[in-house]
């Protein structure tokens, strides 16, 4: 039985560097998110007040409950904002380091480009490019395996959704060429 004082350390070669500088602090992110929530609550309160946030002869108007929910959201966000302001700035921990942000961006940027590509290339070509790119660049898997896996996956997806289930999926120029 291992000693409870012993700690097992497993080295992860893909883990971000511990010495990476902080991009932003948790305090800064908390303040920004609180301000965004306050702004959203004000917008929702205004819009629901405009819609009707009172009680009339037939019961609550359409904006009654959402108006009060926006007041609760605004109050909670204001509480969080004030609480964060009262904490000493010197005790602020790092929210994300440069290495961690880099790892997030490796996933976020291609996913964003995939969403843009859907409009112009359709679901199947965009999916092929995303899968192949992730496997090849991020996973560092052999390109022939990446291409083959991406092709098989998108072909199966096309057969299942487009042929068998006849589900409308975003189409691109390739589908137009093959008459689908």
- The per-residue DSSP string of 53-110 comes to -SEETTEE-TTHHHHHHHHHHHHHHHHHHHHHHHS-GGGPPEEEEHHHHHHHHHHHHH
For 171, the 3-state DSSP assignment is coil
Q: Which pairs count as long-range contacts for 49-56, CB under 8 Å and 24+ apart, including other chains?
A: none
Q: Give me the pLDDT at residue 176, please.
A: 80
Q: What percent of the chain has pLDDT over 90?
A: 66
Q: Give me the pLDDT at residue 40, please.
A: 98
Give the whole-angstrom CA distance, residue 6 versus residue 161: 52
What are the C-alpha distances in Å from 2 to residues 74, 151, 158?
51, 48, 52
The tokens describing 175, both together, are 């589908």
Q: Give me the pLDDT at residue 107, please.
A: 94
Q: Give me the pLDDT at residue 12, please.
A: 65
Answer yes or no: is pLDDT of 180 > 70.
no
């Amino acid at each position: 039985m291992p000693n409870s004082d012993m700690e097992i350390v497993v080295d992860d070669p893909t883990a971000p560097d511990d010495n990476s500088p902080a991009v932003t602090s948790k305090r800064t992110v908390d303040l920004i998110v609180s301000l965004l929530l306050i702004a959203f609550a004000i917008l929702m309160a205004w819009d629901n007040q405009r819609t009707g946030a009172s009680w009339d002869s037939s019961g609550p108007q359409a904006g009654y409950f959402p108006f009060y929910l926006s007041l609760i959201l605004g109050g909670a966000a204001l509480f969080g904002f004030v609480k964060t302001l009262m904490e000493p700035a010197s005790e602020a921990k790092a929210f994300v380091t440069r290495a961690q942000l880099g790892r997030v961006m490796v996933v976020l940027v291609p996913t964003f480009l995939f969403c843009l590509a859907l409009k112009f290339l359709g679901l199947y070509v965009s999916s092929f490019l995303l899968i192949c790119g992730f496997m090849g660049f991020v996973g560092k898997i052999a390109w022939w395996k990446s291409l083959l896996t991406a092709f098989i996956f998108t072909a199966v997806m096309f057969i299942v959704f487009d042929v068998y289930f006849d589900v409308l999926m975003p189409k691109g120029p390739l589908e137009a060429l093959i008459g689908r």
